[in-house]
Structure 1
């Protein structure tokens, strides 16, 4: 019953979801793209800031970019190309073009500091980087210290229609002053690259399923960022798994998805961009979702059927005036991932939108999806869902024993979406993938008798109070239910009596909320050792580029403060 062949989740799969997926339907992402371009040629593919490009236009533009890379920059199969942009139309064009040239895409956070960017360009050996003007100053500052030979620059408005393209770029640069001056000798403009690749044949590279498609960097919050080698097979597998999971709820060629998470994040890359391309979906790219009023205004113009995000994004929308007045009648799928979805946020989302916020779970190292909740669940269930097709998940003890139903241990994954390993880091790969092929996630979880999995917490975030394990997710969930709370993070701080004690860092929604009210609530909902010893109020919490609250930074601040 506790062995790795015990898969109770298969009995609870949504109707029509296969136990195994077809890994051979598409030998590479290239063959998938060609299929999409042909089947959905006249359908809208991507929209941004009022401009829409069809699958046929994406075919033409990405082909032009691929030809430029091969013919003009002499790029070869396997060469790495970095992408340093927010969600603009240039992004899918560049990704598709790079893959069609047989290159490896290195997704790069535009907010990187010079140190972080230098590390990623040197570590990946990127030959080319495509960068938005707003962030080109950072590239200029490190370019001489990296192996990067070619820089392609682009403006936010470059792919918009005339005269909006010119006006947008002028306003961004000269009115809003969002483009710091930079000097990159020999840099090529994106539109010039497309022109230079037009009308020429594209040599088709021989791409194998085992070839790397993406170097997706991760671990920057825990140390030196490592490049997860995601092969064409990994990515195709996850697209097949995800599309099989949503197939009964989605109609090919009819879906409209809002992409607010950045495409350089693995969640948006696989779930929104590639999976929805596979089913002929129409992607609305949101360039700056942190501008919540602007985001809500944009949502008011779109008849969308799907929305993905992280907990803080959904919470932000719910707390933005006007959101509750939007038309949610077409919204059939709301998917939360990247961090734990809080019950209070999920329940409020259901009340406001009528759509259940279904939680999913994955990692950069798994392309990313591992578990997804059935989309037909009537309400938030606190679970990360069931393992998707062709995926094994076990709960293991510290000594590698597979634990029975209901017991808590480390969540481990095995499946075709598990990465090839970390780029040039065999020792780091061996630490996370064992000889039996199990990827050890570092997440503490349990499985119920139906095969639903529940994340208890991250190993490293766990707080040890007098020998008792305290999981920040549980504390945060309890506190977030209070109406006066906007955001909350729980961390462990040193304590002479108990080893560690719980500290809450809170952003108020109600200015009149008091520390005593929070303590009273916690006394009602939490056993003694789980109750916060310290409470601190702040105007904001540190977050990652996708809005994930960074407990690590809070712990580091605490350590410095003594």
Structure 2
């Protein structure tokens, strides 16, 4: 069965050609203009030799060019590999090589980290620099191109490549048990069904009158599926925000009459507690959702009191496209619950033997259905480790289900830290700390944080006769990994870390800020 995810755009163009697809402060782009611009990208890439199924990476913030490139790659039959804009050089290089991306679109401000990362990646042969309008500056090199120059001469007509529904459309990177990020392969059908579930199954009718605020990063599965693709699929308008700021969010909501907002709990915390909130008219909002991490019940209750409607909390992972469950409007939401499975998706609580547990018993959450990824790209062993027993994806999250079918997250099997909606795997940071000449041993854990949900804490034991301050170690990490990953809290000890009889560090004894 043929299906290309870019049809979310091409179908919306039919009835919404002159309507605004994108707002970016004073800039406006209609559906017809977005369609034509993404066709240009498809022509540019095929002209460069892109073959169906080849990967193209994006290192772009929430700007109109993200959508232009995203849908253009899909139209050309390519696979989109969105990269975190906070990546450092070695992280850029790793993701380009691991995904086998042959080209990279990069925003001009990110060249400091991206250019050397591109040079290190043997698989990537084209670097396309996305400049602000009117600018064509780029580094020297026959393999480096100006986005604006290419667009100026490209044709706005393109015959979309027919891909199969189970072909890979997107590779989203997520951390795993090895500490190295793994690429979750999501098919065109995975994403299409997830979008349809969001826009048709939650009890709220989405339409081309809706305006969605893209405050979540579009490289992240939450922002990409639940905001960008969902709004485009109904012919609505997407108002872009490159970096979340509560005051700017208030201004955009009021100015553009935003109706739909999706965010991580941190965003709601800032919005509700900002002293300027009541200076702005936010009455256009009619649907808000939260994901990425558990949202405190007090925030849910506070929001309901202030705005007279519920924040709908959902649950999912990059490996599940991402949505697996959601609270819905036609059933009373349960505070602290991540809701019920979306249409066509099963969720269960499993014991260690892979047997389903009854209501209220605690076990590992497993998911199967149209939303589960094809697997981790080029990592069959890692795929087999988490997808097993008749197609069940084992999430690594501990939870329970009540008698009404509502799921609750209790804890995580893995040591994954979720900071502000971003996954952080401790081992990656531990390996970095171990590379410091003064560090003898270390452990990284998540500690509760009212703003970010969890904050990163590193407990370090120094080598005999070695010295390193907490500030020095923090700066060492900050310079080498993305900003959301480095530990804000560092505790330096002289004695050994607590361990069990087998020598394993007892991390549970370190999860405190005392």
Shorter-chain TM band: 0.7 to 0.9
Superposition deviation, residue 55 in structure 1 = 1.0
Q: Which of 197, 211, 214 matches 1:256?
A: 211
Superposition deviation, residue 490 in structure 1 = 8.2
Structure 1 gaps, min length 5: 1-23, 159-164, 174-180, 464-471, 481-485, 495-537
Work out the CA distance in 2 between the residues paired with 1:559 and 1:66: 55
2:405 is matched with which residue?
451
Preserved contact between residue 356 and residue 377 of structure 1 (Cα < 8 Å): no
Superposition deviation, residue 143 in structure 1 = 2.3
TM-aligned CA distance change 1:423 to 1:556, over 3 Å: farther
Preserved contact between residue 58 and residue 80 of structure 2 (Cα < 8 Å): yes
Q: Which of 259, 276, 279 matches 1:322?
A: 276
TM-aligned CA distance change 1:388 to 1:379, over 3 Å: closer
Preserved contact between residue 250 and residue 282 of structure 2 (Cα < 8 Å): no
Deviations 1:84-106 (A, max 9, x none): 01100000011010000000000
Work out the CA distance in 2 between the residues paired with 1:243 and 1:331: 16
1:243 is matched with which residue?
199
Question: What is the TM-score with the length of structure 1 in the denominator?
Answer: 0.74
Work out the CA distance in 2 between the residues paired with 1:191 and 1:487: 37
2:171 is matched with which residue?
215
Work out the CA distance in 1 between the residues paired with 2:483 and 2:298: 17
TM-aligned CA distance change 1:49 to 1:401, over 3 Å: same
Work out the CA distance in 2 between the residues paired with 1:124 and 1:43: 36
Work out the CA distance in 1 between the residues paired with 2:455 and 2:124: 41
Preserved contact between residue 300 and residue 335 of structure 2 (Cα < 8 Å): no
Work out the CA distance in 1 between the residues paired with 2:393 and 2:105: 32
Superposition deviation, residue 330 in structure 1 = 2.0
2:154 is matched with which residue?
197
Superposition deviation, residue 47 in structure 1 = 1.1
Preserved contact between residue 457 and residue 488 of structure 2 (Cα < 8 Å): no
Work out the CA distance in 2 between the residues paired with 1:38 and 1:204: 15
Preserved contact between residue 333 and residue 339 of structure 2 (Cα < 8 Å): no
Preserved contact between residue 310 and residue 547 of structure 1 (Cα < 8 Å): no
1:152 is matched with which residue?
128
Question: What is the TM-score with the length of structure 2 in the denominator?
Answer: 0.80
Preserved contact between residue 338 and residue 361 of structure 1 (Cα < 8 Å): yes
Q: Which of 328, 332, 337 matches 1:374?
A: 328
- Pairing 1:348–2:302 present: yes
DSSP-derived class of the 1:280 partner? coil
Deviations 1:311-347 (A, max 9, x none): 1111122232312332232211110001111112222
Superposition deviation, residue 244 in structure 1 = 1.7
Which deviates the most, 386-395 or 140-149? 140-149
TM-aligned CA distance change 1:379 to 1:239, over 3 Å: closer
2:53 is matched with which residue?
78
1:279 is matched with which residue?
234
Work out the CA distance in 1 between the residues paired with 2:416 and 2:180: 22
Q: Which of 109, 119, 132 matches 2:107?
A: 132
Preserved contact between residue 140 and residue 183 of structure 1 (Cα < 8 Å): no
Q: Which of 60, 73, 78 matches 1:98?
A: 73
DSSP-derived class of the 1:460 partner? coil
TM-aligned CA distance change 1:554 to 1:408, over 3 Å: farther
Work out the CA distance in 2 between the residues paired with 1:98 and 1:39: 23
Q: Which of 13, 22, 45 matches 1:37?
A: 13
Preserved contact between residue 407 and residue 447 of structure 1 (Cα < 8 Å): yes
TM-aligned CA distance change 1:315 to 1:120, over 3 Å: same
Give the superposed CA RMSD. Answer: 3.1
1:531 is matched with which residue?
none
Preserved contact between residue 357 and residue 379 of structure 1 (Cα < 8 Å): no
Superposition deviation, residue 149 in structure 1 = 0.9
Work out the CA distance in 2 between the residues paired with 1:51 and 1:190: 18
TM-aligned CA distance change 1:116 to 1:302, over 3 Å: same
DSSP-derived class of the 1:300 partner? helix
Superposition deviation, residue 349 in structure 1 = 2.2
Superposition deviation, residue 39 in structure 1 = 2.2
Preserved contact between residue 458 and residue 490 of structure 2 (Cα < 8 Å): no
Superposition deviation, residue 398 in structure 1 = 1.2
TM-aligned CA distance change 1:41 to 1:491, over 3 Å: closer
Deviations 1:188-223 (A, max 9, x none): 222222222225x53442311111100111117971
- Pairing 1:309–2:284 present: no
Work out the CA distance in 1 between the residues paired with 2:491 and 2:185: 33
Superposition deviation, residue 139 in structure 1 = 2.0
1:232 is matched with which residue?
188
2:384 is matched with which residue?
430
Structure 2 gaps, min length 5: 418-444, 460-473, 498-514
Deviations 1:357-393 (A, max 9, x none): 1111010000000000013566661110010000011
Aligned residues: 449
TM-aligned CA distance change 1:295 to 1:32, over 3 Å: closer
Deviations 1:214-243 (A, max 9, x none): 011111797101000001111112112222
- Pairing 1:28–2:4 present: yes
Work out the CA distance in 1 between the residues paired with 2:368 and 2:390: 9
DSSP-derived class of the 2:255 partner? coil
TM-aligned CA distance change 1:325 to 1:145, over 3 Å: same
